[in-house]
Amino acid sequence: MTFEKDRNGASSDQQRRVVRIWLGLLLAVVALALCNSALAQRTTGSLRGQVLDPQGAAVANAKVTVTNQATGVVQTTQTTSAGTWNLPSILPGKYTVSVEGPGFKGFVKKDVTVLADQENVADAQLQLGVASETIEVMAGTEQVQTTSSSLNNNFDSQALLSLPVVGGALSSPLNLAILAPNVTAQPGGVTGIGGSVGGTRPRDNNFTVDGVDDNNLGVTGPNSTVIQDAVSEFTLQTNQFSAEYGHSAGGQFNLVTKTGTNAWHGTGEWYTQNRNFNSIDNLTKQAIEAGTISGQPAYDNNRYGGTIGGPLVKDKWFIFGAYERTYLHGQGTPTPLLAPTAGGLSSLIGMAANPTVASILQNYPVAPAQSLDPGTGQPSTTTVNGQNIPIGNLIIISPVGTNEHDAQVNSDYSVGHHQLGARFNFSQATFVFPVNSTQERFNQSQLYRNRKFTINDVWSINSNWVNDLRLQYAYYSLANQNPCSTCPQDVTIVDLGQVTVGPGDNQ
């Protein structure tokens, strides 16, 4: 009887454990179903090869050592019975591949390039001899890709620095996509960003940064501003990509940001344009000569920043940071608006019975002189309550500008078969647009904020299995602002025959 009681009790406990496990799995499935889908893309590449003897036979159990030339991180493996070896996930960059086998001279191949999301190959043919002797070769030019049908276009850091990219606040290495085959610039009136890739619509493109989603939910395009000097590699896949790229059917735009190396290094940049350096165009010269504007319009365009990176612990832990500020201040196109002259404004104020009307009208500027009607050649007037009010042209030059701050901080740590990383991207900008108002306070302003934090763990379980875990927190906002929250709304003055003043009519 006691045995039966214990057995039933154990059985009951097991049932409760099973129920708890299934409830946990069910909750996990529900949580995943409620989450927005986000497919992670690879930011690493694979490196594989085959080791042969002088007669072309496979060399088994040879030791293969792969060393990152920038960071000193070392990964080792052994060849199979077929002489093949494979490292399925290593960071992009330049590597040195060393091969050691009993009865053979050492083999070293330097400057082996590993590109993101590609199968890279470094074969070796050993020579008979003692291990103390070493044959050293340099990696040749990149061979035709024969291991994948995917069409990749890779732009490394050297290409990103050498090739021209549109400047200013819209500067982005993504603009280099137009240099890739099968990519055309998108026509006007088409939604999306990135151009037409392989004949697809721009809104079908997919954007990732360091392997995590970077798509704008409003209109297809990148969400983050990534500093050009902080980009290690830009990859564009145009077709035949693998299942991990399941977001859309267009081009797959992937930016990989830089990491620190075993040596401290940094860069600095300053780009400037202003009215003192730039020549005056013919239209501006004519406006100055005609007295329409007093001088060359204001224009100041400054973009400055820098990068720094290095080791926290050599061969193990690295850090990289970048900052860039874009400050653009200028003027919009001179716009003539009709406004009463000083005498005309005095007449309007005198016609208003309500003193509040007079206080409102006194806040608005006047035309410097009465203009001539182009049709009749007579002085221009407008009729208010049966009285002719002299009017003239008031030239309005509204300010435009951008004040943007961008930053990137990366940290990478290598331990055993794990590559740990953290990424933080920061962007904040204020954009000012003119609306041809006679008062600067009626200009339109937008405030853009973007924060993105990503952590990842790439675990190389063996030569065939890799677990790539990435978690991301992203915050994005774009707010339209009124620079003057206390400004009055449009006001219709009944005393003056339903005359409306205010920002809506740009009066």
Q: Mind listing the pLDDT tens digit for each residue in 408-434?
A: 999 999 888 888 999 999 999 988 876
Q: Are residues 409 and 434 in the same domain?
A: yes
Q: 343-357: string of b/e by CB count within 10 Å (b at 16+)?
A: ebbebbbebbeeeeb
- In a domain? residue 452: yes
Please indicate, yes or no, whether residues 365 and 288 belong to a single structural domain of this protein.
no
Q: Among 59-68, 83-92, 163-172, whose mean pLDDT is lowest?
A: 163-172
Average pLDDT over residues 28-44: 54
Q: Are residues 329 and 447 in the same domain?
A: yes
Map tokens 């435009």 to a residue: 400
Cα–Cα distance between 27 and 108 in angstroms, integer?
Answer: 52
Q: Would you list the DSSP string of 410-439?
A: EEEEEETTEEEEEEEEEEEEEEEE----SS
Can you give the residue range of the structural domain that contains 454? 270-333+398-481
- At which of 138, 171, 203 does a domain end? 138
Residue 433 maps to a domain? yes
- CA 503 to CA 401: how far, in whole Å? 20
Whether residues 69 and 200 share a domain: the answer is no
Q: Look at residue 38 in the predicted model and tell me its pLDDT.
A: 46
Mean pLDDT, the chain, rounded, equals 78
Q: Is residue 25 part of a domain?
A: yes
Q: What is the pLDDT of residue 267?
A: 93
Distance of alpha carbon 85 from alpha carbon 78, whole angstroms: 6
Contacts of residue 2, defined as CB under 8 A and 6 or more positions apart, other chains included, come to: none
Looking at the domain assignment, is residue 288 inside a domain?
Answer: yes
- The lowest-confidence range among 37-41, 302-306, 317-321, 405-409 is 37-41
C-alpha distances in Å from residue 39, one per residue of 330, 383, 452: 41, 65, 16
Round to whole Å and give the CA distance between 210 and 95.
Answer: 20
> Are 222 and 190 contained in the same domain?
yes
Is the Cβ–Cβ distance between 70 and 34 less than 8 Å? Answer: no
Counting residues of the chain whose pLDDT is more than 70, the rounded percentage is: 77
Residue 322 has pLDDT above 90, yes or no: yes
Examine the domain organization and report whether 67 and 161 are in the same domain: no
Report the percent of the chain where pLDDT is more than 90: 13
Of 346, 366, 396, the position where a domain reaches its end is 396
pTM listed for this prediction: 0.70
Decide if pLDDT at 436 tops 70.
Answer: no
319 with 443, same domain? yes
Segment among 30-44, 154-168, 327-341 with least mean pLDDT = 30-44
**Quick check: 300 pLDDT over 50?**
yes
Number of domains making up the chain: 5
Confidence of residue 400 (pLDDT cuts 50, 70, 90): confident
Picking from 257, 280, 305, the residue at the C-terminal end of a domain is 257
Evaluate whether residue 504 is within a structural domain.
no
Whether residue 498 is contained in a domain is answered as no
User: Model confidence at 273, in pLDDT bands (50, 70, 90)?
Assistant: confident
- Tell me the average pLDDT across 385-395: 81
CA distance 41 to 443: 42
Mean pLDDT on 156-172: 68
More confident call, 292 vs 307: 307
Which CA distances in Å does 353 have to 57, 114, 349?
A: 106, 81, 9
Residue 198 lies in a domain: yes
Q: How much is the pLDDT for 495?
A: 61
State the pLDDT at residue 217: 79
- pLDDT computed for residue 138 by the predictor: 73
pLDDT at 151 over 70: no
Candidate ranges 138-147, 180-189, 296-305, 459-468; pick with highest mean pLDDT: 296-305
Residue 307 binned pLDDT confidence (cut-offs 50, 70, 90): very high
- Is residue 166 pLDDT above 70, yes or no? no
Shared-domain flag, residues 411 and 286: yes
156 and 236 together in one domain: yes
Q: What is the structure's pLDDT at 311?
A: 94
State mean pLDDT over 202-224. 85
Q: Would the pLDDT of 501 be above 60?
A: no
pLDDT-derived band at 5, boundaries 50, 70, 90: very low
pLDDT for residue 268 is more than 60: yes
Reading the block at residue 350, the tokens are 């005198």
Q: Are residues 161 and 250 in the same domain?
A: yes
Residues 416 and 310 in one domain: yes
pLDDT of residue 381: 83
Amino acid code (one letter) for 270: W
pLDDT bracket for residue 482 (50, 70, 90): low
Domain assignment present for residue 285? The answer is yes
The CATH number for 227's domain is: 2.170.130.10
Structure confidence by residue, pLDDT tens digits, 231-255:
988 888 887 777 777 777 888 888 8
- 93-122 per-position pLDDT tens digit: 889 999 988 888 888 888 888 887 778 888
**207 and 78 in one domain?**
no
Of the ranges 61-75, 193-207, 305-319, which one carries the lowest mean pLDDT score?
A: 193-207
Average pLDDT, integer, range 448-455: 92
Q: Which residue has the higher pLDDT, 488 or 177?
A: 177
pLDDT beyond 50 at 8: no
Q: What is the pLDDT of residue 310?
A: 94
